[in-house]
Chain A
Amino acid sequence: MYNNYLKRKIVRSLIWLVLLSVAKMAFAQESAIDSTAADSTQYLYLLNKIQRKTELLQATSTVYTNQLVTTPAPSFLQALPGRLSGLYTRQRSGVQDTDDPTSVIDFRIRGQNPTILIDGVPRDFTSIEPESIESITILKDALSTVTYGQRSSNNIIFVTTKRPVVSPFKLSASIQQGAERLINLPKPVSAADYAILYNEALNNDGQAPAYSATDIITYRDGSDPYGHPDNNWQNLFLNKSAPISRYNVNMQSGNETARFYVALDYQNEGGFLKTSDINTYNTNNNVDRYIIRSNVSVDLNKTLRVDLNIFGRIQSALEAGGKSSTIFTALGATPNNAYPVFNSDGSLAGTSTYNRNISGLINNSGYLKGTSRDLSADLSVTQKLDALLAGLWIKGDVSYNNTVDQTVDRSKDFAVYNNMPLGSTSYQQIGTNVAQRTSFAFNARRTYTYGKLNLGYDKTFGEHAIHALLFTDRQSTTLNLTLPAIYTNYASNISYNYAEKYFAEAAASYGGFNRYRPGSRFGMFYAGGLGWNIAKENFLANLTWLNTLKPRITYGRTGNNNVGYYVYDQYYDNTGTSAVYYFGGESPVSARGYSELTLANPNVTWEKADKLNIGLDIALLTNRLSVTSEYFNDTYFDLMQTRGTSSQLIGQEFPLENIGRNRYTGFENSVSWNDKVGRFNYFIAGNASLLNSEVLYQDEVIRQYGYQKRTGLPVGQTFGYIAEGFYESQSEIDNSPVIVGKTTVPGDLKYKDLNDDGVIDQFDETAIGTQKPMLYYGFTAGFSVGGFDLSFSFQGVANRDVNLTLSGPLEFEFQNNGNGQAFQHHLNRWTPNNTANATYPRLSIGANDNNQRNSTFWMRSGDYLRLQNVDFGYTLPTAFTRKFKVSSIRIFANGFNLHDFSTLDHTDPENNNSVYPLRRTFNAGLNIKL
């Protein structure tokens, strides 16, 4: 209803404007209008304005198109690791097709989870064609984000798509084809080793062995494939590689009157599953992505300009009816001897324990086809008001975004058959064969509408330059059935500089969000900055090698709306039709109930942050060497958490309240050098950032022992036991403190009794893992000479810990009550014969309450260095290509996730708890420019 209203308004206004412009054109005078699309080497796109780089006071970091097109991955976020100073990334899963950016990659700026804005508007999609991205800038400090109102604390990744510029007609077409491989897959043990380990685990738990010696021999020699199968599921069901291909065409042209940039893109990413050909339809994973983009800019007359950006994307994702997550989980968790894939009569094999035959999940489960459609339309109209006041302008922006995500379910279900007794003709059926269904589900529907009105003033008086901006904006986000979330801002930004030597800037925003109590919805946020380019001073004028020496400082207060769904009122819940009690003497008459839900927090308000940033920009040797350093000190307060003194006497669950205080501090440094020697152009760039965090206050309960306190430690510190090795003998167990109420046997982890009370319990838990600041860094270099060009980038992290208990069944043996898999790293477990070199505790069946707790034993160093991207290309000589009326032809090859260096032997350093392994891609293609 609301959205239709706005849609009608937009359409109506568009019609008005078109009529207006037509009318204007009839009377307009042709005159030169300077293109307001900025030259990217001089200017930077910031949140509300375009700023000259020399006037920059904010802490930012930027990459451009050329660094984004070299990564053959669907999302532009995957091109960023290691390239931006201050951006921490972790590839957390190799999952395909989902467009939730945080499920594929975990990214943080200064410890916060940033918002992604594309052309100034927050949008959900990150899987877009990199050729159309002009630049990605991350905004890290208060001054750069404060005008975003109640979403300014979390920092911003600001993506700008290609602006239409005055240019002759250019067309660029690229075709590329790549092969992806899965890397760092789990390494299962063979069926014989599994049987040996399983027997040992049973023995450790005081039970009789399950496999006889002949069983183990039969597994080894493979003489009974139906009764003693030994299946390596990865070899059986995963192809070595999956294809990825992309076709892109983009063109641009323009003159002073009108300019456009148009792009078309198609990407296809295949899957790794080995499917059989019993179906007429495909059940391997497959994602198709179609994009159309049109950015148009028209100068209606000397002073009026209209920009219209339209973007449409359709993604269609296919997966087997058994669901990719189930299939990949089964590949990792099913023991090699669970079942032969097919029985001797060709039916799907299985047992009552293992009844999800992987071949059945892939081939006999039908398919699911998910489609998502995104539409995005931005319209902005800029009017120069020089006639009123020189330098004054006014601009209105409107944006409409809509995403619809739906799934067609054509899955079916299968039964498995257990040949009992083996070799006979009788089979026990487990499960049922369900015919293929056709159903439709609406997964999500999202609408974002955005409107903004700006008034700006840019003027230079001799040496003084002033840029002032005053604006108001409003964004409304509607997700499925919830009421729209509406953000409103009234903000202004003023910057001043004198001779590009002295800089001052101030910004303020009065931002509101409609899910707070009426009357307390708006808050004031502000920031200011100062800078001084010492290199421009007269006393340094003769140091020609010094181009820029600019210390700068910014400080501000930002906000973050982290509030639930109208939590300021108390709600109650009735139990619907289900009974809570019964009355009645003859037969029970059901009585329904009412209950109070979680307590309301009537005073809920936004979280805040006070951020200080001190930066230094140095450019030397005619800007060939540039160094940027930032120091930041951010204090976050009024953070939403449950209070520590949440006494049960109140009789209800406590809500989140604005209580916590954290501090994040750190350094970010980046160095880059680019130069040319003759025709050899090269560049080297590196960045290194240090991030430190501290919990200042969290209403912690009274801890009996100091080593248990969370306050004062880094945010998210892991707590657990200190492991002191393995128990070597029963007498050692009898003389040591153990976990009370559990039986401990030799080979179990021995924990330290920190409070000397003779038992191991929660009072012996303390902070484990590193408390040092995390260091993340990247290194990029490249050169071009004689048509050849090469670039590569590394990314790495140091002082990071990985907690192996989070990997669950990929780390621990025989999980799921003994039905789980065992892996190669279990071969070096503790046994009475292998005590000194054991790297794993004694085996047990199912969950082991003693060994599988958080402890220093499971904390491993997660430091790694990854060769993230290499791109190599050759541009054919122009003399040759001119013969075909083509301006350039470039052949290229690139790769992604090429190699990693880490000390973890059985798990990927970045992705350690997802069933989807990460992918390595080798890609080659051709680019033709007309």
Chain B
Amino acid sequence: MIHHNYLFFLFISISLLFSSCVKSLEDKPLELITEDYLWDSKDSLGTNANLFLNSIYAKLPKGFNRIGNNVLDAASDDAVPTEDGASISSFTNGGYSALSNADDSWQNSYAGIRMTNLFLQNFYKVHLKRDLLLEGQYWRAENRFLRVMFYYELIKRYGGVPLLGDQVFTLSDNLDLPRNTFDECVDYIVAECDAIKDSLRIDPVATGDYGRITRGVALTLKAKVLLLAASPLNNLNNDIDKWQRAKNAAAEVIALNAFSLEPAFSNVFTTRSNKEVILAYQRALTTDLEVNNAPIGYVSGSTSSLGRTSPTQELVDAFPTIRGRAITEDVRSGSNPTGYDATNPYANRDPRLDLTVFYNGLLWLGRGVETFDGGKDRPGGAAVQTKTGYYMRKFLGNFATGTAYSNQTHNFPIFRYADVLLMFAEAKNEIDGPGSVSDSVYTYLKAIRSRAGIMPGTDNNYGLDPNLSLSAMREAIRLERRVELAFEEQRFWDVRRWKIAETVYNKPLHGIRITNNGSTLNYQVESLNIPFQFVAPRMYRYAIPYSEVIKNPNLKQNEGY
């Protein structure tokens, strides 16, 4: 009897306890996605791998108002931020250091490089079906391009950086990597571009593939990198060989015959698929650019525009007259009715001015811009308003008439054909000089000016002096870059790679002060009371983030930080 008790009891307790050990729930959460699912060998369409590649595309440079709502060129002599205390002001007010960098891309770039290496390491596991094998080859090449694009973003800022190769790092790896030299990085990027150029799609691509990396894109990056390596910042001995390589790379892009200048300048930025853009950051249709940058007095629906960027008088003065000559030379007079008139400064100018900068009187949403004192777009008082009397017009859709913004294409142009032509001209000029007016340097410059709408003039030189010296042509090309590629994140880097930052900065910037006397407007150039510092030579390179330098004893900080 007693034994029965024990047995019964023991049986029940034990069965109670261990019945709960019977498996009725899974051992690990099945809703969480592991790498077997992502790189599934049975995924014959490669769907998940393709989605992973899309996420890498999303890490391309976004441009526009990306730094605390300001464009990068608000830290150059082209513009200043409209509001006080903007993070981008740290570039110019002395607040820039290894501890604080408003444009730090170290983390984002290495995260992107990791993703490309993950793709490289794992994509072979996915067995695509036969008619997608070519697509798979394209994806692999696009992936390698994206990797060197991230390295380009790094070397542009920091100089030489650690090259990771194909390795995906794990927790147990030693991350104390030293920096490779700038030239080693350039060679790596160029080698990768050459390796993949024949595995990429050829321009023009099918409509559905628009926005993907193509052969033209890879060759353009190669040209940009080589031009950066040939520029005075990195080419201390002015080695002509480097300029030669840069020129050849740009020539390779031109020789593709896949791109041409868009006939209308505004279409380059608002038409989704056009012949000039080589690579742009693809976005949905939006109105964010208009809302962010149009003058503050405009309201679209119930949204006020914010006018975040204030272009400087320096940029406005850089635009030539309609005849293609500098405003200091082509002055209005009786015999020269189309010359520059300081009392009516925006008339008879390079048509690109109307598409780059909002100035007083420009038509927008049915009324002229009012940046005179007390005007709707410069009311005075405490409101956040333009510091210079101008607002940024570049990239915005055509809303001269109408009452509200509507969604537009706003894809930030990373590479475009005009840039390639100017790169070629710059390199060739450094090697051979300008040549004659029918040689390539002049021809390309004239093509850009012609597209811009500048009058050819009787000599068909679009305002260019036919006998420019090498250094004068260099200045002409630099000027053309400034007005053609304004606000495309080119001026900021150009000023640094040409090593002219210490002279371009460190002096006051200017705006315009317009007073409305009822019937007439009085234009007065005024000095801006905003710090505009550049500490040479250290600020030619960004500081590697301090938090990274203290974690890696082999990572040498750039000079001066």
Contact = CB atoms under 8 A, between A and B. Distances in A.
Interface of A: 1-2, 5-6, 9-10, 13, 16-17, 20, 24, 27, 207, 303-304, 381, 383, 385, 387, 394, 396, 398, 449, 451-453, 472, 474, 476, 482-484, 514, 518, 565-566, 569-575, 579-596, 599, 601, 644-652, 654-655, 657, 701-704, 740-741, 761-762
Interface string B1-21: 110011011101111110111
Given A396-B13, A569-B34, 19 more contacts: A2-B24, A20-B9, A474-B21, A484-B25, A571-B33, A572-B35, A575-B55, A580-B57, A582-B283, A583-B211, A585-B208, A594-B55, A645-B175, A648-B111, A648-B548, A649-B552, A655-B171, A702-B553, A741-B94
Contacts of A645: 175, 551-552
A586 B164 CA distance: 38
Contact of A596 (B2, B51, B115): B115
Nearest to B55: A593
A328 B552 CA distance: 48
Contact of B110 (A449, A651, A655): A651
Nearest to B552: A647
B165 to A, nearest CB: 12
Contacts of B94: 740-741
Contacts of B553: 702
A515 to B, nearest CB: 9
A588 B51 contact: no
A601 B209 contact: no
Contacts of A16: 8, 12
B162 interface: yes
B518 interface: no
A590 B28 CA distance: 33
B300 interface: no
Given A569-B28, A583-B211, A701-B551, A596 B118 contact: yes
A483 B90 contact: no
B99 A761 contact: yes
A159 B122 CA distance: 54
16 contacts: A1-B25, A2-B24, A20-B5, A396-B9, A396-B16, A453-B17, A571-B32, A572-B38, A575-B55, A585-B273, A589-B208, A591-B51, A592-B51, A648-B111, A651-B114, A654-B171
A304 B547 CA distance: 67
Most chain A beta-carbon neighbours within 10 Å: one of B25, B27, B55, B547: B55
Contacts of A649: 110, 162, 164, 169, 175, 177, 548, 552
Nearest to A571: B32
Contacts of B164: 649
B284 A590 contact: yes
Nearest to B58: A580
Contacts of A452: 17
Given A304-B5, A601-B171, A585 B33 contact: no
Interface string B274-306: 000000001111000000000000000000000
Contacts of B93: 741
B111 A652 contact: yes
B207 A451 contact: no
A494 B66 CA distance: 68
A385 B12 CA distance: 16
A476 B2 CA distance: 33
A762 B546 CA distance: 11
Contacts of A17: 12
B27 A518 contact: yes
B283 A588 contact: yes
B86 to A, nearest CB: 11
B68 interface: no
B51 A24 contact: no
B407 to A, nearest CB: 10
B481 interface: no
A580 B2 contact: no
Interface string B154-195: 000000001010000111010111000000000000000000
Given A383-B9, A572-B34, A580-B54, A2 B25 contact: yes
A573 B33 contact: yes
Contact of B551 (A383, A599, A647): A647
Contacts of A579: 284
B139 to A, nearest CB: 13
Contact of B115 (A449, A583, A599, A651): A651
A584 B210 contact: yes
B48 interface: yes
A500 B211 CA distance: 85
B51 A574 contact: yes
A570 B34 contact: yes
B19 A9 contact: yes
Given A573-B33, A649-B162, A649-B175, A27 B1 contact: yes
Given A383-B9, A585-B272, A566 B28 contact: yes
A628 B13 CA distance: 41
B150 to A, nearest CB: 10
Nearest to A380: B13
B508 to A, nearest CB: 19
A587 B177 contact: no
Contacts of B95: 740-741
Nearest to B175: A647
Given A394-B10, A591-B57, A581 B34 contact: no
A183 B547 CA distance: 45
Contacts of A655: 171
Given A651-B111, A741-B90, A593 B58 contact: yes
Contacts of A587: 272, 285
Contacts of B57: 580-581, 591
A13 B12 contact: yes
A588 B27 contact: no
Contacts of A518: 27
Nearest to A739: B95
A472 B112 CA distance: 50
B52 interface: yes
Nearest to A599: B171
Contact of A572 (B16, B33, B382): B33
A588 B37 CA distance: 28
Contacts of A572: 33-35, 37-38
B106 to A, nearest CB: 6
Nearest to B545: A648
Contacts of B176: 647
Contacts of B329: none
Interface in B525-561: 545, 547-548, 550-553
A702 B17 contact: no
B107 interface: yes
Nearest first, the 6 A-B pairs at minimum CB distance are: A651-B114, A741-B95, A585-B273, A396-B13, A585-B210, A593-B55
Contacts of B2: 387
B334 interface: no
A885 B208 CA distance: 94
B38 A586 contact: no
Interface in B419-464: none
A366 to B, nearest CB: 29
A741 B118 CA distance: 41
A657 B170 CA distance: 13
B241 interface: no
Contacts of B285: 587-588
Contacts of B212: 583
Given A383-B5, A645-B551, A650-B169, A580 B55 contact: yes
Nearest to A648: B107
A646 B545 CA distance: 13
A591 B55 CA distance: 9
A855 B114 CA distance: 39
B185 to A, nearest CB: 14
A647 B545 CA distance: 11
Nearest to A17: B12
B28 A24 contact: no
B246 interface: no
A394 B545 CA distance: 64
A599 B172 CA distance: 12
